[in-house]
Amino acid sequence: MTVRAVAAVDLGATSGRVMIGRVGDGRLELELVSRFPHGPVEREDGVHWDFGALYEHVVAGLAEAVRREPAIESIGIDSWAVDYGLLKDGRLIAEPFHYRDGRSARGVEEVHALIPFAELYRRNGLQFLPFNTLYQFRVDGRLADADTALLIPDLIAYLLTGVAAAERTNASTTGLLGVADAEWDIELAERVGVPVGILPPLVDAGAVIGRLCPELAARIGRDLPVIAVGSHDTASAVVAAPLSTPDAAYISCGTWGLVGVELTEPVLTDAARAENFTHELGVDGRFRFLHNVTGLWLLSETVRAWEAEDGAPVDL
């Protein structure tokens, strides 16, 4: 059987990596190409991501992947959820805010004054987290200057290809995707003051987003397509470890811990809402019915503080 090679960009909330995956003969082999730290940076207006550095790490990692494996056929990108970049005429307006920036607390109050959380849950099936994209949008004055909003993996795909699209698994974390039909809830967006024109076309995992722009193909070393994967990192994690029975549960542990099951129908009960269970879309259209718990964030922050104090990296 022919072995096929692909490049994967996997971005977590504290580090990122580029890997080569080789698939064939009933096996999947993974080769780590590069790993790089990243995290929140303080700016005058709040906490952001150093997106410029993150993007350059991605491009450099892809170039190294192609150097090591010239037979790479495509690129896939996943990341953490909820955060986004705003574009105007194809250019990034400013660094994306970090989801732990405190500005979204005001967004929670304003959104819930317009739409009670019980109604939100019936419409989007999403657990309450104060940094959900919906709340961030509500207090982001830059929306008026933007023509497109893209979640982080979609933003990187856009910079690589010039094609704007929103992959559904990650779009389901925004609070603006209908739980009943997996389409943008235009009425909801309008009620909370989100310009509907900034919402890009939705695509499913497996769709070809586009091919590398010529200048990026030259930097990376090959003209490659960028494929929509489960761009929410948990969606890719769960589909990569399929559950053996309908009664099986999963725990995905990273910066956050995600504990849940896969369902074919949403559970929009008062009890599910009260216990703060969410419905995130899976790669195959099923719902990842889960609850967020504290993961490795405290450990990551402790290591970051130690490194800042000692001026030396900590190897766990």
How far apart, in whole angstroms, are the C-alpha atoms of residue 105 and residue 114? 15
Question: What is the structure's pLDDT at 312?
Answer: 78
**Tokens coding 83:** 């955060």
Task: Give the torsion through C-alpha atoms of 139, 140, 146, 150, to 10 deg.
Answer: -100
Active-site annotation, residues: 233
pLDDT of 263: 93
Sign of the alpha-carbon torsion through 196, 269, 293, 241 = negative
Question: Tell me, what amino acid is at 104?
Answer: S
pLDDT beneath 70, residues of the chain: 1, 316
Per residue in 131-152, pLDDT (tens digit) is 999 999 999 999 999 999 999 9
Domains of the chain are 4-237 (3.30.420.40)
Q: Residue 316's pLDDT is what? A: 67
pTM for the full predicted model = 0.93
**Tokens coding 111:** 């959104």
Q: Give the model's pLDDT for residue 1.
A: 65
Per-residue pLDDT tens digits for 178-192: 999 999 999 999 999
pLDDT of residue 228: 98
What pLDDT is recorded for position 303? 78
Alpha helix (H) ranges present in the chain?
Answer: 51-68, 104-114, 117-124, 133-138, 152-161, 168-171, 186-191, 214-220, 233-240, 270-274, 297-310
